[in-house]
Amino acid sequence: MPFGAGKTMCPGRYFAKNEIKIPVTLIIRYIEYERLEVNTKPEQMQNRVGVGVVPSKEDIPIRYRYKE
């Protein structure tokens, strides 16, 4: 549990969530991107299944540029 539970929940959890949303919003607003090799699905790390988000074994290739 990233922010604790019960009486000991993190008082800054709402601030931390907003700090994550701001850069994601700026990236969506100012950058165009496309995924390369659309027909391939990246393999996932099987030792991380059940521990939250399962990352891929390698980076997903993308092409990006700033919007004009």
For 8-39, give one letter per residue: b (16+ CB within 10 A) or e.
eeeeeeeeeeeeeeeeeeeeeeeeeeeeeeee
Residue 52 has pLDDT above 80, yes or no: no
Q: pLDDT per residue over 14-48, tens digit each?
A: 999 999 999 999 999 999 989 887 777 777 777 77
Domain boundaries, the chain: 6-66
Predicted confidence at residue 61, as pLDDT, reads 85
What's this model's pTM, rounded to 2 decimal places?
Answer: 0.55
